[in-house]
């Protein structure tokens, strides 16, 4: 008799929607597309690309992702109203595979205070919204917002009605991260036991991490029959975030003995996705973060090091390679040629770099190789990410000279290229970073406020490249810029200029006030 095939769990990534709802984690169109492409290659089943009614930017992002992504289902979020659903359907129109995800709150607290609706009105809205969404696609997902705090009888009625109206996926969110694993498992089990047509839909879960239980709650639900998990890269998301995709997937893979389920995720892409999301949002990954933290596979104590050398499994429950931390086959240095460099980019998963980008990034690589003893894969990834981000920018960094140290005054002499013309300025400030940013303001006057300045070393050693993130805010619009260089001040100038370019692009697009998913 053949062994039973493991149950397949669908991975629904909401980094571009719930993830972007993290304060400060805004991403532009191009960045969203880059993340979506990585998610698609990684094998994500459904990519929630945004909330089209929330802003023109969200609408455009969903439309762009829908027009480029073919392997994953592209999903858009909509509240229960017709206008939301129509706008969502319009954004998804180019998609090869599309899903409309519509939601309404079902808990007594949300219905009374947020929606100010009677339960019967909500019940009607469930049927109407799903019925309306089905006019645009067969693939409709319905969510009961604040599901984990919803009264069971009412939840069962709504779920049954949503399935009857045509929802193929029923998502049960723990919106405020309040549930504990045994309780959440019981809730999912209760739905399987009580909703008569439950077999006609996939049950999904969407857990927030307010008590640090999002992953545990999601896995408890999977063990009770949930077939889809909603999650984000690095656990990004509203407040304390959502369940982290990498933790869900690696827990299912590593503990297959107790959780005999399968996902389609190519786990070797995890590190790349994590680094990209962190670089774009400016949200660093804490060093001890499970799976993707810098220390997740580092063994510090002598006893542990000795054990790992004798047999890796003494202290490693999964291999670094399984999440994409590869020991490099090609070691790069200042004598490496263009061909080897191209091969290295392929090895790092950047197969399709255009000729112009390749030329620029190769020149910067040679420059760096002249200055730095050892070049790591992380250096090349940082150079490439920055070069891709810089293409088609109005303002470009050209050169920086700094006077600093305890004797003062701290001064920056900066050259930028603005709309094709070289411009120079000298400015002073409280320290070299302040002087550099003041020089940028002289050359390109603006009122944006600096909200975040963050430096992180790409690799170890005093000659490591610095990766700087700058967050600027202007009239409620927030952007993140990144810059990397062996010189922290040059990296700072590049990051500021990158953010400024994004702000200029954003200014050109007037968007209505953003709504949040819970608006
Ligand atoms: O947390 C939540 O309830 C949500 C829904 C819109 C699915 O994000
Ligand atoms: Zn959420």
Q: The tokens 């959780």 sit on which residue?
A: 259
Q: What is the rounded distance in angstroms from the CA atom of residue 380 to the CA atom of residue 345? A: 8
130 against 386, higher pLDDT: 130
Please provide the average confidence, as pLDDT, over all residues in the chain.
90
Q: Check residue 330 and give its pLDDT.
A: 65
Nearest ligand to residue 176 Cα: 1
Q: Which helix (H) or strand (E) holds 494?
A: helix 488-507
Residue 514 has pLDDT above 70, yes or no: no
Q: Give the model's pLDDT for residue 512.
A: 35
pLDDT at 85: 98
511 has pLDDT over 50: no
Q: What's the 141 CA to ligand 2 centre distance in angstroms?
A: 14
Q: Which of 450, 449, 432 is nearest to 491 (CA)?
A: 432
Give the C-alpha separation, 243 to 213, whole Å.
Answer: 8
Question: For ligand 1, is residue 18 a contact (CB within 6 Å)?
Answer: yes
Q: Is the CB of 103 under 6 A from ligand 1?
A: yes
Q: Which of 20, 144, 517, when mutated, tests ligand 1's pocket best, judged by the most ligand atoms within 8 Å of its CB?
A: 517
Task: Give the span between the Cα atoms of 349 and 362, in whole angstroms.
Answer: 16
The whole-angstrom separation of Cα 453 and Cα 239 is: 21
476 band by pLDDT with thresholds 50, 70 and 90: confident
How far apart are alpha carbons 476 and 107 in whole angstroms?
Answer: 31
DSSP assignment string, 214-248: HHHHHHHHHHTT--EEEEBGGG--STT-B-BHHHH
Predicted pLDDT at 343: 83
pLDDT at 2 over 60: no
Would you say residue 299 has pLDDT above 80? Answer: no
How do the domains of the chain map onto residue ranges?
7-281, 328-388, 392-507
Q: Which of 145, 149, 150, 217 to mutate to test the pocket of ligand 1 (most atoms within 8 A of CB)?
A: 145
Please indicate whether residue 517, judged by its CB atom, sits closer than 6 Å to ligand 1. yes
What pTM, to 2 d.p., does this model score?
0.82
Number of the ligand 1 atom closest to the C-alpha atom of 242: 1
- Within 8 A by CB and 6+ apart from 368, the residues are 375, 379, 383, 465, 486
pLDDT in tens, 383-420: 887 777 676 688 999 999 999 988 888 999 999 999 99
**CA–CA distance, 493 with 489 (Å, rounded to integer):** 6
Q: Which long-range contacts (CB under 8 A, 24 or more apart) does 509-515 make?
A: 509/56, 509/57, 510/56, 511/55, 511/56, 511/57, 512/55, 512/56, 513/55, 514/54, 514/55, 514/58, 515/51, 515/53, 515/54, 515/55
Q: Three-class SS string for 321-345?
A: HHHCCCCCCCCCCCCCCHHHHHHHH
How far apart CA 25 and CA 280 sit, in angstroms, is 8
The pLDDT of residue 262 is 97
Residue in 106, 226, 217, 120 with CA at minimum distance from that of residue 159: 106
Q: What does the DSSP 8-state code read for residue 376?
A: -
Give the pLDDT confidence score for residue 170 in this predicted structure: 98
Exposed e or buried b per residue across 331-369, where buried means at least 16 C-beta atoms within 10 angstroms of its C-beta:
ebeeebeeeebeebbeebbbeebeeebbebbbebbeebb
Q: What pLDDT band is residue 518 in, cutting at 50, 70 and 90?
A: very low
Cα angle 253, 259, 261 (rounded to 5 degrees) comes to 65
> 51 in ligand 1 pocket by Cβ < 6 Å?
no
Orientation of helix 82-92 relative to helix 119-133, angle to 10°? 30
Buried b (16+ CB within 10 A) or exposed e, 48-82: bbbbbbbbebbbbbbbbbbeebeebbbbbbbbbbe
Q: What is the dihedral of CA 492, 396, 442, 433, to 10 degrees?
A: 10
Structure tokens at 413: 């002499």
Mean of pLDDT values over 266-282: 92
Average pLDDT estimate for 256-277? 95
Nearest protein Cα to ligand 1, atom 6: 517
pLDDT value of residue 232: 98
Atom of ligand 1 nearest to the CA of 147: 3
Is the pLDDT confidence value at 509 over 60? no
Axis crossing angle, helix 245-254 with helix 214-223, rounded to the nearest 10:
50
Domain 7-281: assigned CATH number: 3.20.20.70
Tell me the CA–centroid distance for residue 110 and ligand 2, in Å: 14
Name the residue of 170, 172, 206 to mutate for ligand 1: max ligand atoms within 8 A of Cβ: 206
Helical (H) or strand (E) element with 157? helix 152-165
Mean pLDDT lowest for which of 34-43, 144-153, 254-263, 356-365?
Answer: 356-365
**Does the Cβ of 206 fall within 6 Å of ligand 1?**
yes
Q: pLDDT for 187-219, tens place per residue?
A: 999 999 999 999 999 999 999 999 999 999 999
Q: In this predicted structure, what is the pLDDT of residue 300?
A: 65
**Where do we find the tokens 């892409």?**
269
Rounded average pLDDT over 307-326 = 83
- pLDDT exceeding 70 applies to what percent of the chain? 94
SS3 string, 82-111, reads HHHHHHHHHHHCCCCCEEEEEEEECCHHHH
517 Cα: distance to centroid of ligand 1 (angstroms):
7
Under 8 Å between Cβ of 99 and 46: yes
Alpha-carbon distance 13 to 232, whole Å? 5
Three-state SS letters, 168-202: CEEEEEECCCCCCHHHHHHHHHHHHHHCCCHHHCE
Kindly state the average pLDDT of the residues 471-482: 87
Q: Where residue 516 falls among pLDDT bands split at 50, 70, 90?
A: very low
Per the CATH hierarchy, to which homologous superfamily does domain 392-507 belong?
Alpha-isopropylmalate synthase LeuA, regulatory domain (3.30.160.270)
Q: How many CA atoms lie within 13 A of 70 on its CB side?
A: 1
Query: Tell me, what's the pLDDT at 513?
Result: 34
Q: Which of 47-51, 297-301, 451-455 has maximum average pLDDT?
A: 47-51
Strands of 14-97, DSSP E: 46-50, 73-79
Tell me the CA distances in angstroms from 187 to 9, 179, 241, 243, one per residue in order: 19, 10, 22, 18
User: Using 50, 70 and 90 to split pLDDT, how confident is the model at 508?
Assistant: low
CA distances from 106 to 154, 182, 261, 413 (A): 8, 21, 30, 59
pLDDT at 311: 77
In this prediction, residue 327 carries a pLDDT of 62
Angle, in degrees to the nearest 10, between helices 338-347 and 377-390: 90
In sequence order, what DSSP letters do the residues of 114-138 get, joined into one string? II---HHHHHHHHHHHHHHHTTT-S
């Amino acid at each position: 008799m053949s062994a039973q095939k493991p149950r397949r769990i669908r991975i629904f990534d909401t980094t571009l929607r719930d993830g972007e709802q993290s304060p400060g984690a805004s991403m532009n169109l191009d960045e969203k597309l880059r993340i979506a492409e990585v998610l698609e290659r990684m094998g994500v089943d459904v990519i929630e690309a945004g909330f089209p009614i929330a802003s023109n930017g969200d609408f455009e992002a969903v439309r762009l992702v829908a027009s480029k992504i073919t392997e994953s289902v592209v999903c858009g979020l909509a509240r229960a109203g017709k206008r939301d659903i129509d706008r969502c359907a319009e954004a998804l129109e180019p998609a090869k595979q599309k899903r409309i995800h519509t939601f309404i709150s079902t808990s007594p607290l949300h219905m009374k205070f947020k929606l100010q609706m009677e339960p019967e009105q909500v019940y009607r809205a469930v049927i109407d919204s799903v019925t309306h969404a089905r006019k645009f696609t067969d693939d409709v997902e319905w969510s009961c917002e604040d599901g984990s705090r919803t009264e069971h009888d009412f939840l069962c009625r709504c779920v049954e009605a949503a399935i009857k109206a045509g929802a193929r996926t029923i998502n049960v969110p723990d919106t405020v991260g309040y549930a504990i694993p045994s309780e959440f498992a019981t809730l999912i089990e209760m739905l399987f036991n009580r909703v008569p047509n439950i077999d006609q839909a996939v049950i999904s879960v969407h857990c927030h991490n307010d008590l640090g239980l999002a992953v545990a709650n999601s896995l408890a639900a999977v063990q009770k029959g949930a077939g889809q998990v909603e999650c984000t890269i690095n656990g990004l998301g509203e407040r304390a975030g959502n369940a982290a995709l990498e933790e869900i997937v690696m827990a299912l893979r590593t503990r297959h003995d107790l959780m005999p389920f399968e996902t389609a995720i190519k786990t070797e892409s995890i590190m790349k996705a994590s680094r990209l999301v962190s670089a774009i949002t400016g949200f660093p990954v804490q060093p001890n973060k499970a799976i993707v933290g810098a220390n997740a596979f580092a063994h510090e104590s002598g006893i542990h090091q000795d054990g790992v050398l004798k047999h890796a499994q003494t202290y490693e429950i999964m291999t670094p390679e399984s999440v994409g931390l590869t020991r490099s086959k090609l070691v790069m240095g200042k004598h490496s040629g263009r061909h080897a460099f191209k091969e290295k980019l392929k090895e790092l998963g950047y197969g399709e770099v255009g000729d112009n980008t390749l030329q620029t990034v190769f020149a910067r690589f040679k420059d760096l190789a002249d200055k730095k003893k050892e070049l790591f894969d992380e250096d090349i990834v940082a150079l490439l990410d920055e070069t891709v981000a810089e293409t088609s920018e109005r303002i470009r960094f050209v050169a920086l000279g700094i006077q600093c140290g305890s004797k003062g005054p701290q001064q920056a002499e900066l050259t930028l290229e603005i709309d094709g013309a070289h411009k120079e300025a000298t400015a002073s400030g409280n320290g070299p970073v302040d002087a550099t940013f003041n020089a940028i303001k002289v050359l390109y006057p603006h009122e944006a406020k600096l909200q975040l300045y963050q430096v992180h070393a790409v690799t170890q050693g005093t000659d490591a490249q610095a990766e700087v993130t700058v967050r600027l805010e202007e009239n409620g619009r927030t952007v993140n810029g990144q810059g990397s260089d062996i010189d922290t001040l040059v990296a700072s100038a590049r990051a500021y200029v990158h953010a400024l370019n994004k702000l200029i692009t954003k200014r050109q697009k007037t968007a209505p006030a953003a709504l949040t998913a819970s608006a």
